[in-house]
Amino acid sequence: MEHESLKHLFQQEFSRMVAVISRRFGLQHIEIAEDIVSETFLQASESWGIKGIPENPTAWLYAVAKQKTLYHFRRSRIFEEKVIPAITSEVERNEETALDFSTQNIRDSQLQMLFAICNPAIASEAQIGLALRILCGFGIDEIADAFLSNKETINKRLFRAREKLRTENISMELPPESEIAGRLDNVLHIIYLLFSEGYYSKTQDQILRKDLCIEALRLGLMLTEYEKTNLPRTNALIALMCFHASRFDARLTNGDALVLYEQQNEALWDPTLIKQGMHFLDVSAQGDEVSSYHLEARIACWHCMKKDTPEKWQDILQLYDELLRVNYSPSVALNRIFALYKVKGPQAALTEALALRMEDNHFYFLLLGELYRHLDKTKARSSFQTAHNLARTQTEKQGIQEKIHSL
């Protein structure tokens, strides 16, 4: 129980504490901030294992982190050299003012950290890695799993990203008002990628990692608390994530095999999240902006209405057509084929599917198998077998094997 409580606290408080320390002393010391917070949790593990969890564990962590931070910067003389003397005197009189762990300061620090990490000067993959580490409190092992990589590679990638923060003199502050809209696109993209990795995980033999999805949703909601980032496309992305998250429990069997949309039990969908998705979708409709998040959110909204109607699939197909014009991607093109199948039947969908020629994508062959099921059982079996061979996780392979048996 103590281990689980500490693990939960780590994921919740690591990012907050690193953000506050980095905001106070500068991003050039972000690695020191990470080390200080990690040492704080190590001390908590040792102390709480002997004495038990304190009455207010969060306050205990903040107090120890303050002590360790002040000790480090005073010892290394960075404190005296970098901090304004007037502030230094005040801190020496009252150490409690050195680091501000108030709710408002934590929120401001995390928002500034989000924009700092999502700076265009840092490579996209490194941004995601830093976001997982600094903003979501994930360990190196978990990040390595998320990238299908190893600890050494991830440590090197994070080191280069932190170096970039230093060499580019990236500061922990919100961009100028004139730049926020442009920079926000990159921030939303990173959150979108983070959610997507969780919604269809390629890691740990899991198809769904709710922890990644929840963190992405939390970061999105954080943006709505600041007027300049609370824009229509921000709310559209949150609506999209709410709609997808509402079907978490229906997407997997008890054995963690993937359940396709048409086989999902609607009773397992979360009506509260669907209602929240509708709220954010309504908010996103203010103004004349239509982003790819708006289109995807409307598609996801339709998928939260299980009943099939001609209007439903015709609108979904039209939305996919528009989405391909706004932001083409192979996965969108593939998803559009299913909508086409629902509107025009398997033969029309198959003709367009074969033209995609996505030879290394197991979802492509999974879709071909479903289409051929109505037309040619032999080709359906062959397509499912290819999908089985290409699938990355054991849970996926089991689900595909069941389809082969069903033929």
What are the tens digits of pLDDT across the range 216-241? 898 899 999 888 899 999 999 999 99
Domain end: 230, 260, 295, which one? 230
Q: Is residue 264 part of a domain?
A: no
CA–CA dist 343, 347 (Å, integer): 11
Domain end: 207, 230, 253, which one? 230
Same domain, 96 and 112: no
Q: What is the pLDDT of residue 179?
A: 83
Higher pLDDT, 208 or 378: 378
Q: Is residue 52 part of a domain?
A: yes
Is residue 128 within 8 Å of 193, Cβ to Cβ? yes
108-117, 255-264, 267-276, range with the lowest pLDDT? 255-264
Same domain, 151 and 41: no
Q: Is residue 314 part of a domain?
A: no
Same domain, 108 and 138: yes
CA–CA dist 59, 62 (Å, integer): 5
Same domain, 136 and 24: no
Q: What is the pLDDT of residue 95?
A: 47
Same domain, 66 and 117: no
Q: What is the pLDDT of residue 128?
A: 81
Q: What is the pLDDT of residue 133?
A: 86
Is residue 16 within 8 Å of 33, Cβ to Cβ? no
Task: State mean pLDDT over 278-303.
Answer: 94
Residue 141: is its pLDDT beyond 50?
yes
Same domain, 96 and 117: no
pLDDT band at 47 (very low <50, low <70, confident <90, very high): very high
Q: What is the pLDDT of residue 1?
A: 42
Closest CA to 95 of 76, 119, 73: 73
Length of the chain: 407
Q: How many domains does the chain have?
A: 2
CA–CA dist 34, 161 (Å, integer): 14
Output the pTM of the full model: 0.81
Q: Is residue 259 part of a domain?
A: no
Read off the tokens for 143: 């990040």
Same domain, 90 and 109: no
**Mean pLDDT of all residues in the chain?**
85
Q: What is the pLDDT of residue 281?
A: 97
Same domain, 97 and 33: yes
Residue 207: is its pLDDT beyond 60?
no
Query: Could you say which DSSP state residue 174 is in?
Result: P
Higher pLDDT, 252 or 51: 51
Read off the tokens for 189: 């993209």
Same domain, 2 and 72: yes
Same domain, 118 and 96: no
Q: Is residue 274 part of a domain?
A: no
CA–CA dist 3, 49 (Å, integer): 9
Q: Is residue 184 part of a domain?
A: yes
Q: What is the pLDDT of residue 172?
A: 87
Domain end: 201, 230, 259, which one? 230
Same domain, 110 and 215: yes
Same domain, 90 and 166: no
Q: Is residue 182 part of a domain?
A: yes
Q: Is residue 315 part of a domain?
A: no
What range does the domain containing 118 cover?
A: 104-230
Q: What is the pLDDT of residues 316-359, one digit of tens each?
A: 999 999 999 998 888 899 999 999 999 999 999 999 999 999 98
Q: What is the pLDDT of residue 337?
A: 96
Query: Could you say which DSSP state residue 134 is in?
Result: I
CA–CA dist 330, 336 (Å, integer): 10
Q: What is the pLDDT of residue 43?
A: 94
